[in-house]
Structure 1
Amino acid sequence: MAIHNDFGKKGEQLAKLFLEENGYEILDENWHFNKAEVDLIAYKNKTIIFIEVKTRSGDYFGSPEEFVDHKKQKLLSDAAEEYIYIMQHQGEIRFDIVSILINKHSENPKITHIEDAFWNY
């Protein structure tokens, strides 16, 4: 596996632990639909949350969450529609981003959880 894939998987595991520690139940990881992959799907307060995890080693070119562009948001929205159809979910949904900065000079990654990061398309 490529180093950047390992780095991304590390970020997803950190995000999962962070969310679980904050009361989220993880329903699925790396869920695929067509060309879309949803990193984490969680449940809290009767809401299904579709979560994009962005992990970077620095913010020189922008914060990690800035890399969730409109195309990615549309793919996540399409995947979410299929997921709620399959699960027959009648409640609320939302889209979150978990931004993780892992600095090689620091042992503690900076984790930022952005709730309602974008709207369903």
Structure 2
Amino acid sequence: MAAKDLLGRRGEDLAATFLTTAGYLVVDRNWRCSQGEIDIVAVDGADTVFVEVKTRSSVAFGHPFEAITPQKLARVRRLAAAWCAVNPGDHRSIRIDAISVIAPSDGPPQIDHLTRVF
């Protein structure tokens, strides 16, 4: 696995742990369909939450949130609809969140969580 892929996997693991610690129930990870992939699907109270995770080892090339464009959020919204279509249940209240992970190799990670980004 490439270093970039390992960093991304580590970031998603840290984000899932962060959400679980915050009381969310993680119900799916790395869900894929022909349109793309959702990093994390979780439940927060009555909300089904679709989480886009961006991980960097530093901010030398910008903050991870800068990589979440309006086009990316629109794609996540389409993916959320596709996930709901194949996963029966009460998905009347959905939201899209973003988590940034800055994970330097020589220090503790910094995790930021933005709710309702779209």
Q: Assess same fold via TM > 0.5.
A: yes
Distance 1:75 1:7, change over 3 A: same
Residue correspondence of structure 1 range 38-57 to structure 2 within 5 A: 38-57=38-57
Q: Following the alignment from structure 2 to structure 1, what is the Cα–Cα distance between the partners of residues 27 and 91?
A: 16
Distance change in 2, residues 1:60/1:82 (3 Å): same
- The CA deviation at 1:90 is 3.9
Counterpart of 2:75, as a letter, is L
Runs of 4+ in structure 1 over 6 Å off: none
CA offset at residue 91 of structure 1? 2.1
Distance 2:100 2:15 in 1: 8
- Structure 1's unaligned 5+ residue stretches are none
Query: Counterpart of 2:10?
Result: 10
One-letter code aligned to 1:96: D
After TM superposition, the structure 1 = structure 2 runs for residues 96-115 of structure 1, keeping only pairs within 5 Å, are 96-106=97-107, 108-115=108-115
Q: Give CA-to-partner distance per residue, 1:49-97, whole Å, 9 cap, x none.
A: 0001110011122210110112211211111111122224342110011
More displaced 10-residue stretch of structure 1: 86-95 or 5-14: 86-95
For these two proteins, the number of residue pairs brought into alignment is: 117
Q: Which moved more, 1:60-69 or 1:11-20?
A: 60-69
Runs of 5+ consecutive residues of structure 2 not aligned to the other structure: none
Q: Distance in 1 between matches of 2:74 and 2:36?
A: 9
Between 10-19 and 76-85, the greater mean CA deviation after superposition: 76-85
Tell me how far apart the structure 2 counterparts of residues 76 and 68 of structure 1 sit (CA, whole Å): 10
**TM-score (normalised: structure 2):** 0.92
Letter in 1 for 2:80: A
Name the TM-score, length of structure 1 as normaliser: 0.90
Name whichever of 76-85 and 11-20 sits farther off: 76-85
Percent pairwise identity? 32
**Amino acid in the other structure paired with 2:74:** K
